[in-house]
Structure 1
Amino acid sequence: MDYEKLTYINSRGETLEFGITSVYHCNVSKDVTGIAGIDNTIYKTNSMGQHGDTYIGQRYEARDITIVGNINTTDKDRVLELRRKAEKILNAELDAKLIYTYKDFVRVIDCRVDGRPVFKSSKVFMQFTIPITCCNPFWREEAEAKKDIAAWVSSWEFDFEIPEEGIELGYREPSVIVNVYNEGDVRSGMRVEFRAIGTVVNPVLLNVNTQEYIKLIDTTMVAGDVITINTDYGSKGATLTRDGEVIDYFRHIDVDSTFMQLAIGDNVFRYDAESGVTALEATIYHSNKYLGV
Protein backbone atom coordinates (compact mmCIF):
# COMPACT_ATOMS: atom_id res chain seq x y z
CA MET A 1 0.00 0.00 0.00
CA ASP A 2 1.03 3.61 -0.54
CA TYR A 3 1.23 5.84 2.52
CA GLU A 4 1.81 9.52 3.08
CA LYS A 5 5.21 10.37 4.50
CA LEU A 6 7.16 13.43 5.59
CA THR A 7 10.91 13.80 5.14
CA TYR A 8 12.78 16.40 7.19
CA ILE A 9 16.13 17.50 5.74
CA ASN A 10 18.30 20.05 7.55
CA SER A 11 20.85 22.34 5.91
CA ARG A 12 23.62 19.80 6.57
CA GLY A 13 21.73 17.23 4.50
CA GLU A 14 20.81 15.08 7.52
CA THR A 15 17.45 13.37 7.13
CA LEU A 16 14.57 12.03 9.21
CA GLU A 17 11.61 10.21 7.68
CA PHE A 18 8.20 10.10 9.34
CA GLY A 19 5.63 7.61 8.13
CA ILE A 20 3.83 4.33 8.72
CA THR A 21 6.83 2.24 7.67
CA SER A 22 9.51 4.41 9.30
CA VAL A 23 11.22 3.68 12.61
CA TYR A 24 9.99 7.20 13.43
CA HIS A 25 6.44 5.91 13.13
CA CYS A 26 3.79 8.48 12.26
CA ASN A 27 0.40 8.27 10.61
CA VAL A 28 0.66 11.51 8.62
CA SER A 29 -3.05 11.76 7.83
CA LYS A 30 -4.01 11.42 11.51
CA ASP A 31 -1.07 12.52 13.62
CA VAL A 32 0.24 15.59 11.79
CA THR A 33 -1.47 18.97 11.99
CA GLY A 34 -0.89 22.10 9.93
CA ILE A 35 -0.01 20.65 6.53
CA ALA A 36 -3.32 21.73 4.93
CA GLY A 37 -4.81 25.21 5.08
CA ILE A 38 -3.28 28.41 6.46
CA ASP A 39 -4.62 31.00 8.88
CA ASN A 40 -5.03 34.46 7.41
CA THR A 41 -5.60 37.96 8.77
CA ILE A 42 -8.02 40.43 7.19
CA TYR A 43 -7.17 44.15 7.36
CA LYS A 44 -10.17 46.49 7.33
CA THR A 45 -11.32 49.90 8.42
CA ASN A 46 -14.58 51.68 9.22
CA SER A 47 -15.91 55.12 10.06
CA MET A 48 -18.80 56.62 11.97
CA GLY A 49 -22.10 55.98 10.26
CA GLN A 50 -20.71 53.19 8.10
CA HIS A 51 -22.41 49.82 8.22
CA GLY A 52 -19.86 47.06 8.28
CA ASP A 53 -16.22 47.48 7.30
CA THR A 54 -14.15 48.38 4.26
CA TYR A 55 -11.73 45.69 3.13
CA ILE A 56 -8.11 46.86 2.86
CA GLY A 57 -6.20 43.65 2.36
CA GLN A 58 -5.21 40.34 3.84
CA ARG A 59 -2.12 38.28 4.61
CA TYR A 60 -1.41 34.62 5.26
CA GLU A 61 0.22 33.85 8.59
CA ALA A 62 3.25 31.62 9.10
CA ARG A 63 2.42 27.93 9.05
CA ASP A 64 2.78 25.80 12.20
CA ILE A 65 3.16 22.05 11.76
CA THR A 66 3.19 19.50 14.59
CA ILE A 67 4.42 15.95 13.99
CA VAL A 68 3.37 13.34 16.56
CA GLY A 69 4.49 9.71 16.55
CA ASN A 70 6.61 7.11 18.29
CA ILE A 71 10.00 5.46 17.95
CA ASN A 72 9.04 2.05 16.68
CA THR A 73 11.29 -0.25 18.67
CA THR A 74 11.32 -1.61 22.20
CA ASP A 75 15.10 -2.08 22.39
CA LYS A 76 16.11 0.54 24.93
CA ASP A 77 19.62 1.06 23.56
CA ARG A 78 18.21 1.50 20.07
CA VAL A 79 15.53 3.88 21.34
CA LEU A 80 18.13 6.11 22.98
CA GLU A 81 20.28 6.04 19.85
CA LEU A 82 17.34 7.06 17.65
CA ARG A 83 16.27 9.80 20.07
CA ARG A 84 19.78 11.28 20.10
CA LYS A 85 19.90 11.13 16.31
CA ALA A 86 16.56 12.96 16.04
CA GLU A 87 17.60 15.64 18.54
CA LYS A 88 20.83 16.21 16.61
CA ILE A 89 19.06 16.57 13.25
CA LEU A 90 16.16 18.64 14.65
CA ASN A 91 18.51 21.48 15.49
CA ALA A 92 16.76 24.85 15.63
CA GLU A 93 20.04 26.50 14.59
CA LEU A 94 19.72 24.92 11.14
CA ASP A 95 17.48 25.81 8.23
CA ALA A 96 15.53 22.85 6.92
CA LYS A 97 12.89 21.74 4.47
CA LEU A 98 9.99 19.34 4.85
CA ILE A 99 8.98 17.11 1.94
CA TYR A 100 5.48 15.62 1.72
CA THR A 101 5.16 12.53 -0.46
CA TYR A 102 2.16 10.45 -1.46
CA LYS A 103 2.69 8.17 -4.47
CA ASP A 104 4.01 10.49 -7.21
CA PHE A 105 2.68 13.64 -5.52
CA VAL A 106 5.48 15.66 -3.89
CA ARG A 107 5.45 19.07 -2.21
CA VAL A 108 8.24 20.93 -0.41
CA ILE A 109 8.22 23.67 2.22
CA ASP A 110 11.02 25.54 4.03
CA CYS A 111 10.87 25.18 7.79
CA ARG A 112 12.65 25.34 11.13
CA VAL A 113 12.10 23.62 14.46
CA ASP A 114 10.20 26.03 16.72
CA GLY A 115 10.58 25.06 20.35
CA ARG A 116 11.75 21.85 21.94
CA PRO A 117 11.04 18.44 20.43
CA VAL A 118 9.48 16.39 23.22
CA PHE A 119 10.31 12.71 23.72
CA LYS A 120 8.18 10.91 26.29
CA SER A 121 8.28 7.29 27.43
CA SER A 122 5.01 5.36 27.39
CA LYS A 123 4.11 1.80 28.32
CA VAL A 124 5.47 0.38 25.06
CA PHE A 125 7.13 2.96 22.80
CA MET A 126 8.83 6.32 23.25
CA GLN A 127 6.51 9.02 21.87
CA PHE A 128 7.65 12.22 20.22
CA THR A 129 6.10 15.61 19.43
CA ILE A 130 7.98 17.88 17.03
CA PRO A 131 6.90 21.54 16.62
CA ILE A 132 7.82 23.10 13.28
CA THR A 133 7.22 26.57 11.88
CA CYS A 134 7.29 27.67 8.25
CA CYS A 135 7.82 31.43 7.95
CA ASN A 136 7.02 31.14 4.26
CA PRO A 137 3.74 29.21 4.60
CA PHE A 138 3.41 27.95 1.03
CA TRP A 139 4.16 24.48 -0.29
CA ARG A 140 5.93 24.27 -3.65
CA GLU A 141 6.91 21.67 -6.21
CA GLU A 142 10.36 20.07 -6.06
CA ALA A 143 11.62 21.75 -9.22
CA GLU A 144 11.23 25.35 -10.37
CA ALA A 145 9.13 26.01 -13.46
CA LYS A 146 11.26 27.37 -16.30
CA LYS A 147 10.36 29.48 -19.33
CA ASP A 148 12.96 30.46 -21.93
CA ILE A 149 12.69 33.57 -24.10
CA ALA A 150 14.66 33.68 -27.36
CA ALA A 151 16.82 30.71 -26.51
CA TRP A 152 18.54 28.47 -29.02
CA VAL A 153 16.33 25.56 -30.08
CA SER A 154 17.88 22.25 -31.15
CA SER A 155 17.11 21.15 -34.68
CA TRP A 156 19.31 18.13 -35.30
CA GLU A 157 19.15 16.49 -38.70
CA PHE A 158 21.34 13.53 -39.66
CA ASP A 159 21.03 12.40 -43.28
CA PHE A 160 23.38 10.12 -45.12
CA GLU A 161 23.84 12.81 -47.76
CA ILE A 162 24.99 16.23 -46.64
CA PRO A 163 23.11 18.88 -48.66
CA GLU A 164 24.96 21.77 -50.23
CA GLU A 165 23.40 24.22 -47.77
CA GLY A 166 24.69 22.16 -44.82
CA ILE A 167 22.95 20.61 -41.84
CA GLU A 168 20.82 22.74 -39.52
CA LEU A 169 21.95 22.09 -35.95
CA GLY A 170 19.88 24.74 -34.22
CA TYR A 171 18.15 28.06 -34.61
CA ARG A 172 17.38 31.09 -32.48
CA GLU A 173 13.75 31.32 -31.33
CA PRO A 174 12.66 34.73 -32.77
CA SER A 175 9.98 35.68 -30.23
CA VAL A 176 10.79 38.16 -27.49
CA ILE A 177 7.40 37.58 -25.83
CA VAL A 178 6.51 34.70 -23.52
CA ASN A 179 3.56 33.73 -21.33
CA VAL A 180 4.54 32.52 -17.87
CA TYR A 181 1.64 30.59 -16.37
CA ASN A 182 1.38 30.55 -12.58
CA GLU A 183 -0.77 27.56 -11.69
CA GLY A 184 -0.28 28.01 -7.95
CA ASP A 185 -2.80 29.30 -5.41
CA VAL A 186 -1.16 32.70 -4.76
CA ARG A 187 1.05 35.29 -6.42
CA SER A 188 4.68 34.27 -6.73
CA GLY A 189 8.04 35.93 -7.09
CA MET A 190 10.38 34.89 -9.88
CA ARG A 191 14.01 34.67 -10.86
CA VAL A 192 14.93 36.38 -14.14
CA GLU A 193 18.15 35.38 -15.86
CA PHE A 194 19.63 37.53 -18.66
CA ARG A 195 22.41 35.83 -20.65
CA ALA A 196 24.59 37.65 -23.18
CA ILE A 197 25.99 35.92 -26.27
CA GLY A 198 27.40 39.25 -27.46
CA THR A 199 27.39 42.88 -26.36
CA VAL A 200 24.11 43.97 -24.73
CA VAL A 201 23.36 47.40 -23.22
CA ASN A 202 20.76 47.93 -20.47
CA PRO A 203 18.41 44.92 -20.79
CA VAL A 204 14.81 45.24 -19.60
CA LEU A 205 11.92 42.86 -18.89
CA LEU A 206 8.37 44.25 -19.31
CA ASN A 207 5.07 42.83 -18.05
CA VAL A 208 2.82 43.42 -21.07
CA ASN A 209 -0.36 43.22 -18.97
CA THR A 210 0.57 45.63 -16.17
CA GLN A 211 3.33 47.69 -17.86
CA GLU A 212 5.58 47.05 -14.86
CA TYR A 213 9.21 46.46 -15.73
CA ILE A 214 12.66 45.61 -14.43
CA LYS A 215 15.40 47.60 -16.14
CA LEU A 216 19.16 47.60 -15.69
CA ILE A 217 21.08 50.87 -16.09
CA ASP A 218 24.77 51.65 -16.62
CA THR A 219 25.10 48.07 -17.78
CA THR A 220 27.08 46.67 -20.70
CA MET A 221 27.00 42.90 -20.86
CA VAL A 222 29.62 40.99 -22.83
CA ALA A 223 29.47 37.45 -24.15
CA GLY A 224 29.22 34.97 -21.29
CA ASP A 225 27.78 37.43 -18.76
CA VAL A 226 24.75 36.33 -16.74
CA ILE A 227 22.62 38.78 -14.75
CA THR A 228 20.17 37.25 -12.29
CA ILE A 229 17.34 39.22 -10.67
CA ASN A 230 15.25 37.69 -7.88
CA THR A 231 11.85 39.25 -7.05
CA ASP A 232 10.79 36.79 -4.34
CA TYR A 233 10.04 38.21 -0.89
CA GLY A 234 13.04 37.77 1.40
CA SER A 235 15.38 37.08 -1.53
CA LYS A 236 15.14 40.27 -3.61
CA GLY A 237 18.37 41.26 -5.30
CA ALA A 238 20.52 41.15 -8.43
CA THR A 239 23.89 39.63 -9.30
CA LEU A 240 26.24 39.66 -12.26
CA THR A 241 28.26 36.53 -12.99
CA ARG A 242 31.33 37.26 -15.12
CA ASP A 243 34.27 34.92 -15.63
CA GLY A 244 33.09 32.82 -12.69
CA GLU A 245 32.92 35.78 -10.28
CA VAL A 246 29.56 36.71 -8.74
CA ILE A 247 29.12 40.46 -8.19
CA ASP A 248 26.29 42.23 -6.33
CA TYR A 249 24.43 44.18 -9.02
CA PHE A 250 21.51 45.64 -7.09
CA ARG A 251 22.62 49.26 -7.64
CA HIS A 252 22.22 48.80 -11.39
CA ILE A 253 18.45 48.28 -11.14
CA ASP A 254 16.58 51.37 -12.33
CA VAL A 255 14.78 53.10 -9.42
CA ASP A 256 11.45 52.99 -11.26
CA SER A 257 11.67 49.23 -11.68
CA THR A 258 9.24 46.91 -9.90
CA PHE A 259 10.16 43.60 -8.31
CA MET A 260 7.26 42.04 -10.18
CA GLN A 261 5.18 39.17 -8.84
CA LEU A 262 3.50 36.57 -11.03
CA ALA A 263 -0.28 36.83 -10.84
CA ILE A 264 -2.30 33.61 -10.68
CA GLY A 265 -2.74 32.41 -14.25
CA ASP A 266 -1.26 34.11 -17.32
CA ASN A 267 1.62 36.60 -17.19
CA VAL A 268 2.86 37.94 -20.53
CA PHE A 269 6.42 39.28 -20.65
CA ARG A 270 8.66 40.73 -23.33
CA TYR A 271 12.29 41.71 -23.11
CA ASP A 272 14.35 44.37 -24.85
CA ALA A 273 17.62 46.26 -24.58
CA GLU A 274 18.93 49.69 -25.57
CA SER A 275 21.22 47.87 -27.99
CA GLY A 276 22.25 44.29 -28.75
CA VAL A 277 18.86 42.69 -28.16
CA THR A 278 19.65 39.96 -30.70
CA ALA A 279 22.58 38.94 -28.50
CA LEU A 280 20.36 38.56 -25.44
CA GLU A 281 18.70 35.44 -24.05
CA ALA A 282 16.37 35.38 -21.06
CA THR A 283 14.88 32.73 -18.79
CA ILE A 284 12.21 33.13 -16.11
CA TYR A 285 12.14 30.66 -13.21
CA HIS A 286 9.40 30.44 -10.58
CA SER A 287 7.90 28.08 -8.04
CA ASN A 288 4.14 27.54 -7.95
CA LYS A 289 2.96 28.11 -4.38
CA TYR A 290 0.16 26.12 -2.76
CA LEU A 291 -1.97 26.59 0.35
CA GLY A 292 -1.83 22.93 1.32
CA VAL A 293 -0.91 19.42 0.21
Structure 2
Amino acid sequence: MTFTNSSGESITFRIGSPFMINNIEGLGEVGADIQSQKAPFQDGSSFIDAVMNERDISFNVTIKGRNDTEISQYRTQLSRVFSPKLGPGTLRYQYGDIVRVIEATPTHVPNFPSGNENRGSQFQIALLDLIAHDPYWKTEGIEGEPTFEPLFQFPFSGEFQMGISRDERLIVNDGDALTPLVIEFYGPAENPKVINETTGEFIQVNQTLGLEEVMRINTADGEKSVIFINAEGVERNVFNWIDLDSTFFKLRVGENYITYTADSDIQGAIVNFYYQNRYNAL
Protein backbone atom coordinates (compact mmCIF):
# COMPACT_ATOMS: atom_id res chain seq x y z
CA MET A 1 0.00 0.00 0.00
CA THR A 2 1.26 3.49 -0.88
CA PHE A 3 -0.03 6.87 0.28
CA THR A 4 0.85 9.95 -1.79
CA ASN A 5 -0.05 13.36 -0.41
CA SER A 6 -1.04 16.46 -2.39
CA SER A 7 2.59 17.62 -2.43
CA GLY A 8 3.66 14.44 -4.22
CA GLU A 9 5.48 12.87 -1.25
CA SER A 10 4.87 9.14 -0.79
CA ILE A 11 5.35 6.38 1.73
CA THR A 12 5.06 2.72 0.72
CA PHE A 13 4.12 0.12 3.32
CA ARG A 14 5.52 -3.33 2.56
CA ILE A 15 7.74 -6.07 3.95
CA GLY A 16 11.35 -4.93 3.96
CA SER A 17 10.37 -1.26 4.18
CA PRO A 18 10.94 0.85 7.34
CA PHE A 19 7.13 1.12 7.41
CA MET A 20 5.08 -2.08 7.73
CA ILE A 21 1.33 -2.39 8.28
CA ASN A 22 0.21 -4.56 11.19
CA ASN A 23 -3.51 -4.47 10.43
CA ILE A 24 -5.94 -2.34 8.46
CA GLU A 25 -9.67 -1.72 8.70
CA GLY A 26 -12.05 -0.06 6.25
CA LEU A 27 -11.12 -1.80 3.00
CA GLY A 28 -14.60 -3.22 2.66
CA GLU A 29 -17.07 -2.10 5.28
CA VAL A 30 -18.80 1.23 4.73
CA GLY A 31 -22.17 2.37 6.03
CA ALA A 32 -25.16 3.61 4.07
CA ASP A 33 -28.12 5.83 4.88
CA ILE A 34 -31.35 4.19 3.72
CA GLN A 35 -33.81 6.75 2.37
CA SER A 36 -37.46 5.71 2.78
CA GLN A 37 -40.94 7.18 2.97
CA LYS A 38 -44.10 6.16 4.79
CA ALA A 39 -47.67 6.75 3.72
CA PRO A 40 -50.52 7.15 6.23
CA PHE A 41 -51.61 3.77 7.63
CA GLN A 42 -48.82 1.99 5.71
CA ASP A 43 -47.23 -1.03 7.35
CA GLY A 44 -43.49 -0.47 7.31
CA SER A 45 -42.15 1.93 4.70
CA SER A 46 -41.13 2.17 1.03
CA PHE A 47 -37.52 2.16 -0.08
CA ILE A 48 -36.39 5.24 -2.02
CA ASP A 49 -32.61 5.10 -2.19
CA ALA A 50 -29.43 4.19 -0.33
CA VAL A 51 -26.75 6.85 0.13
CA MET A 52 -23.23 5.67 0.89
CA ASN A 53 -21.44 7.27 3.83
CA GLU A 54 -17.80 8.32 3.93
CA ARG A 55 -15.28 5.52 4.28
CA ASP A 56 -13.11 5.39 7.41
CA ILE A 57 -9.75 3.67 6.97
CA SER A 58 -7.57 2.90 9.99
CA PHE A 59 -4.29 1.04 10.24
CA ASN A 60 -1.37 0.43 12.57
CA VAL A 61 2.19 0.77 11.32
CA THR A 62 5.43 -0.59 12.73
CA ILE A 63 8.38 1.73 12.06
CA LYS A 64 11.71 -0.09 12.10
CA GLY A 65 15.17 1.49 12.30
CA ARG A 66 18.72 0.79 13.42
CA ASN A 67 18.68 3.23 16.33
CA ASP A 68 16.72 6.01 18.06
CA THR A 69 17.99 8.63 15.61
CA GLU A 70 16.72 6.72 12.57
CA ILE A 71 13.39 6.02 14.28
CA SER A 72 13.02 9.73 14.98
CA GLN A 73 13.70 10.55 11.30
CA TYR A 74 11.07 8.07 10.16
CA ARG A 75 8.55 9.49 12.63
CA THR A 76 9.15 12.95 11.18
CA GLN A 77 8.75 11.63 7.63
CA LEU A 78 5.48 9.87 8.46
CA SER A 79 4.09 12.99 10.16
CA ARG A 80 5.04 15.15 7.19
CA VAL A 81 3.46 12.88 4.56
CA PHE A 82 0.29 12.25 6.61
CA SER A 83 -0.40 15.90 7.45
CA PRO A 84 -4.13 16.75 7.55
CA LYS A 85 -3.28 20.31 6.46
CA LEU A 86 -2.33 18.99 3.01
CA GLY A 87 -5.88 17.81 2.37
CA PRO A 88 -6.76 14.72 0.34
CA GLY A 89 -4.07 12.37 -0.91
CA THR A 90 -4.18 9.11 -2.87
CA LEU A 91 -4.13 5.72 -1.20
CA ARG A 92 -3.04 2.96 -3.59
CA TYR A 93 -3.65 -0.65 -2.59
CA GLN A 94 -2.22 -3.62 -4.48
CA TYR A 95 -3.03 -7.26 -3.83
CA GLY A 96 -1.63 -9.57 -6.48
CA ASP A 97 -2.68 -8.21 -9.87
CA ILE A 98 -5.52 -6.12 -8.42
CA VAL A 99 -4.77 -2.42 -7.97
CA ARG A 100 -7.27 0.07 -6.55
CA VAL A 101 -6.98 3.71 -5.52
CA ILE A 102 -9.03 6.00 -3.32
CA GLU A 103 -8.78 9.66 -2.38
CA ALA A 104 -8.40 9.97 1.39
CA THR A 105 -7.51 12.63 3.96
CA PRO A 106 -5.65 12.05 7.27
CA THR A 107 -7.93 12.94 10.16
CA HIS A 108 -5.02 13.66 12.53
CA VAL A 109 -1.25 13.75 12.70
CA PRO A 110 0.03 10.15 13.16
CA ASN A 111 -0.27 8.99 16.75
CA PHE A 112 2.87 7.47 18.34
CA PRO A 113 1.75 5.72 21.55
CA SER A 114 4.18 5.34 24.42
CA GLY A 115 4.99 2.25 26.48
CA ASN A 116 7.49 -0.55 26.04
CA GLU A 117 5.09 -2.49 23.84
CA ASN A 118 4.83 0.48 21.44
CA ARG A 119 8.32 1.97 21.47
CA GLY A 120 11.85 0.55 21.58
CA SER A 121 15.31 1.53 20.42
CA GLN A 122 14.66 -0.02 16.99
CA PHE A 123 10.89 0.20 16.51
CA GLN A 124 7.90 2.49 16.95
CA ILE A 125 4.17 1.79 16.58
CA ALA A 126 2.15 4.45 14.75
CA LEU A 127 -1.64 4.78 14.47
CA LEU A 128 -3.16 6.38 11.37
CA ASP A 129 -6.76 7.22 10.45
CA LEU A 130 -8.04 8.43 7.07
CA ILE A 131 -11.42 9.50 5.76
CA ALA A 132 -12.47 8.99 2.14
CA HIS A 133 -15.32 11.38 1.36
CA ASP A 134 -15.95 9.45 -1.87
CA PRO A 135 -16.23 5.90 -0.47
CA TYR A 136 -15.58 4.02 -3.72
CA TRP A 137 -12.33 2.30 -4.63
CA LYS A 138 -11.44 2.97 -8.26
CA THR A 139 -9.33 1.52 -11.00
CA GLU A 140 -5.90 3.07 -10.95
CA GLY A 141 -5.65 4.49 -14.44
CA ILE A 142 -8.31 6.52 -16.16
CA GLU A 143 -9.45 4.38 -19.05
CA GLY A 144 -9.78 6.00 -22.47
CA GLU A 145 -11.96 4.81 -25.31
CA PRO A 146 -10.35 6.16 -28.50
CA THR A 147 -12.50 7.19 -31.44
CA PHE A 148 -9.85 6.45 -34.02
CA GLU A 149 -9.34 2.76 -34.74
CA PRO A 150 -6.05 2.18 -36.61
CA LEU A 151 -6.10 -0.28 -39.48
CA PHE A 152 -2.90 0.16 -41.44
CA GLN A 153 0.75 0.93 -40.79
CA PHE A 154 3.33 1.95 -43.36
CA PRO A 155 7.14 1.73 -43.12
CA PHE A 156 7.92 5.42 -43.28
CA SER A 157 8.19 8.25 -40.77
CA GLY A 158 6.11 11.36 -40.35
CA GLU A 159 2.52 11.99 -39.27
CA PHE A 160 0.30 9.74 -41.33
CA GLN A 161 -2.74 7.77 -40.21
CA MET A 162 -5.38 5.68 -41.89
CA GLY A 163 -8.29 3.96 -40.24
CA ILE A 164 -11.95 4.14 -39.33
CA SER A 165 -13.53 6.99 -37.38
CA ARG A 166 -15.99 5.17 -35.13
CA ASP A 167 -19.31 6.84 -34.28
CA GLU A 168 -20.41 4.12 -31.87
CA ARG A 169 -18.90 1.93 -29.19
CA LEU A 170 -19.77 -0.39 -26.34
CA ILE A 171 -18.38 0.51 -22.92
CA VAL A 172 -18.69 -2.03 -20.12
CA ASN A 173 -18.77 -0.79 -16.54
CA ASP A 174 -17.77 -3.84 -14.47
CA GLY A 175 -17.78 -1.89 -11.22
CA ASP A 176 -20.41 -1.68 -8.47
CA ALA A 177 -21.77 1.83 -9.05
CA LEU A 178 -22.54 4.48 -11.67
CA THR A 179 -19.33 5.82 -13.18
CA PRO A 180 -18.94 9.48 -14.20
CA LEU A 181 -17.29 10.41 -17.47
CA VAL A 182 -14.92 12.97 -18.88
CA ILE A 183 -15.86 13.52 -22.53
CA GLU A 184 -13.64 15.37 -24.98
CA PHE A 185 -14.99 16.66 -28.31
CA TYR A 186 -12.37 17.70 -30.85
CA GLY A 187 -13.22 20.04 -33.70
CA PRO A 188 -14.18 20.48 -36.40
CA ALA A 189 -17.71 19.64 -35.29
CA GLU A 190 -21.09 21.37 -35.38
CA ASN A 191 -23.40 20.80 -32.39
CA PRO A 192 -21.69 17.55 -31.30
CA LYS A 193 -23.84 15.10 -29.34
CA VAL A 194 -23.07 11.94 -27.35
CA ILE A 195 -25.95 9.56 -26.59
CA ASN A 196 -26.09 6.67 -24.15
CA GLU A 197 -28.50 4.56 -26.18
CA THR A 198 -28.82 2.14 -23.27
CA THR A 199 -30.48 4.75 -21.05
CA GLY A 200 -31.65 7.33 -23.60
CA GLU A 201 -29.61 10.10 -21.97
CA PHE A 202 -27.48 12.49 -24.01
CA ILE A 203 -25.15 15.47 -23.83
CA GLN A 204 -25.21 18.01 -26.65
CA VAL A 205 -23.09 21.10 -27.17
CA ASN A 206 -24.90 23.84 -29.09
CA GLN A 207 -21.80 25.30 -30.67
CA THR A 208 -19.50 24.86 -33.65
CA LEU A 209 -15.97 23.76 -32.79
CA GLY A 210 -13.23 24.83 -35.14
CA LEU A 211 -10.12 22.94 -36.07
CA GLU A 212 -7.88 22.25 -33.02
CA GLU A 213 -10.62 23.43 -30.63
CA VAL A 214 -11.66 21.12 -27.80
CA MET A 215 -14.66 20.80 -25.50
CA ARG A 216 -14.14 18.90 -22.22
CA ILE A 217 -17.18 17.83 -20.16
CA ASN A 218 -17.01 16.30 -16.67
CA THR A 219 -20.15 14.53 -15.37
CA ALA A 220 -18.89 13.76 -11.82
CA ASP A 221 -21.01 14.98 -8.90
CA GLY A 222 -19.45 18.06 -7.37
CA GLU A 223 -17.18 18.47 -10.39
CA LYS A 224 -19.66 19.02 -13.24
CA SER A 225 -18.06 21.36 -15.76
CA VAL A 226 -18.00 22.35 -19.42
CA ILE A 227 -14.63 23.72 -20.52
CA PHE A 228 -13.80 25.10 -23.97
CA ILE A 229 -10.15 25.09 -25.06
CA ASN A 230 -9.27 27.22 -28.07
CA ALA A 231 -6.54 26.50 -30.61
CA GLU A 232 -4.03 28.44 -28.46
CA GLY A 233 -4.77 26.26 -25.41
CA VAL A 234 -6.67 28.92 -23.44
CA GLU A 235 -9.51 27.47 -21.33
CA ARG A 236 -12.82 29.03 -20.34
CA ASN A 237 -16.06 27.91 -18.72
CA VAL A 238 -18.92 27.60 -21.25
CA PHE A 239 -21.63 25.82 -19.27
CA ASN A 240 -24.26 27.83 -21.15
CA TRP A 241 -23.36 26.05 -24.41
CA ILE A 242 -24.91 22.80 -23.19
CA ASP A 243 -28.36 21.98 -24.59
CA LEU A 244 -30.97 22.38 -21.85
CA ASP A 245 -32.32 18.86 -22.39
CA SER A 246 -28.90 17.32 -21.83
CA THR A 247 -28.14 15.06 -18.86
CA PHE A 248 -24.70 14.78 -17.30
CA PHE A 249 -25.07 11.04 -17.48
CA LYS A 250 -22.89 8.35 -15.95
CA LEU A 251 -22.13 4.86 -17.16
CA ARG A 252 -24.59 2.40 -15.66
CA VAL A 253 -23.31 -0.91 -14.29
CA GLY A 254 -22.98 -3.35 -17.20
CA GLU A 255 -23.06 -2.51 -20.90
CA ASN A 256 -23.44 1.03 -22.21
CA TYR A 257 -24.00 1.51 -25.94
CA ILE A 258 -22.66 4.97 -26.81
CA THR A 259 -23.15 6.80 -30.11
CA TYR A 260 -21.78 10.09 -31.42
CA THR A 261 -23.49 12.43 -33.86
CA ALA A 262 -23.12 16.01 -35.09
CA ASP A 263 -24.81 18.34 -37.55
CA SER A 264 -21.64 18.18 -39.66
CA ASP A 265 -19.74 15.29 -41.22
CA ILE A 266 -18.13 13.31 -38.37
CA GLN A 267 -15.58 11.54 -40.55
CA GLY A 268 -12.24 12.31 -38.95
CA ALA A 269 -13.89 13.67 -35.78
CA ILE A 270 -12.43 12.64 -32.44
CA VAL A 271 -14.42 12.01 -29.26
CA ASN A 272 -12.63 10.49 -26.28
CA PHE A 273 -14.09 9.09 -23.07
CA TYR A 274 -12.22 8.74 -19.77
CA TYR A 275 -13.55 7.02 -16.67
CA GLN A 276 -12.65 4.96 -13.61
CA ASN A 277 -14.80 2.03 -12.55
CA ARG A 278 -15.96 2.18 -8.91
CA TYR A 279 -16.03 -0.65 -6.38
CA ASN A 280 -17.62 -1.07 -2.96
CA ALA A 281 -14.71 -3.06 -1.56
CA LEU A 282 -11.35 -4.57 -2.41
SS at match of 2:262: strand
SS at match of 2:79: helix
Deviation at 1:37, TM superposition (A): 2.9
Q: Does 1:20 align with 2:9?
A: no
Deviation at 1:152, TM superposition (A): 5.0
> In structure 1, what is the equivalent of residue 92 of structure 2?
99
Spell out, residue by residue over 1:138-191, the C-alpha distance to the aligned partner (whole angstroms, 9 max, x if none): 111111122123x252411459xxxxxxxxx64342541111110111111011
Deviation at 1:102, TM superposition (A): 2.1
SS at match of 1:11: coil
Equivalent residues in 2 for 1:95-134, closer than 5 Å: 95-123=88-116, 124=120, 125-134=123-132
Deviation at 1:35, TM superposition (A): 1.1
CA–CA separation in structure 2 for the residues paired with 1:136 and 1:276: 40
Partners of 1:200 and 1:279 within 8 A in 2: no
For structure 1, which runs of at least 5 residues remain unmatched after alignment?
1-5, 160-168
Spell out, residue by residue over 1:29-67, the C-alpha distance to the aligned partner (whole angstroms, 9 max, x if none): xx1100123211111112332222100101111111012
Deviation at 1:105, TM superposition (A): 2.1
SS at match of 2:217: strand
CA–CA separation in structure 1 for the residues paired with 2:69 and 2:184: 52
Deviation at 1:200, TM superposition (A): 1.8
Partners of 2:165 and 2:269 within 8 A in 1: no
> In structure 1, what is the equivalent of residue 222 of structure 2?
234
CA–CA separation in structure 1 for the residues paired with 2:193 and 2:176: 28
> In structure 2, what is the equivalent of residue 76 of structure 1?
68
> In structure 1, what is the equivalent of residue 171 of structure 2?
180
Please give the TM-score of this superposition, normalised by the length of structure 2. 0.90
> In structure 1, what is the equivalent of residue 246 of structure 2?
257
Partners of 1:100 and 1:106 within 8 A in 2: yes
> In structure 1, what is the equivalent of residue 146 of structure 2?
148
CA–CA separation in structure 1 for the residues paired with 2:262 and 2:34: 41
> In structure 2, what is the equivalent of residue 45 of structure 1?
37
The residue identity in structure 1 corresponding to 2:162 is: Y
CA–CA separation in structure 2 for the residues paired with 1:13 and 1:158: 41
Spell out, residue by residue over 1:110-152, the C-alpha distance to the aligned partner (whole angstroms, 9 max, x if none): 1111133211233233211111001111111111122123x25
CA–CA separation in structure 2 for the residues paired with 1:112 and 1:174: 42
Q: Does 1:268 align with 2:251?
A: no
Alpha-carbon RMSD: 1.8
Q: Does 1:139 align with 2:137?
A: yes
The residue identity in structure 1 corresponding to 2:133 is: C
Classify 1:246/1:49 alpha carbon distance in 2 versus 1 (closer, same or farther; 3 Å). Answer: same
Q: Does 1:246 align with 2:232?
A: no
For structure 2, which runs of at least 5 residues remain unmatched after alignment?
none
The residue identity in structure 1 corresponding to 2:264 is: S
Partners of 1:98 and 1:109 within 8 A in 2: yes
> In structure 2, what is the equivalent of residue 189 of structure 1?
180
Deviation at 1:92, TM superposition (A): 1.1
CA–CA separation in structure 2 for the residues paired with 1:246 and 1:172: 30
Classify 1:115/1:158 alpha carbon distance in 2 versus 1 (closer, same or farther; 3 Å). Answer: closer
1:280 to 265, 269, 272: 269
Partners of 1:141 and 1:288 within 8 A in 2: yes
> In structure 2, what is the equivalent of residue 162 of structure 1?
none
CA–CA separation in structure 2 for the residues paired with 1:38 and 1:233: 19
Partners of 1:99 and 1:106 within 8 A in 2: yes
Deviation at 1:279, TM superposition (A): 4.5
Classify 1:74/1:175 alpha carbon distance in 2 versus 1 (closer, same or farther; 3 Å). Answer: closer
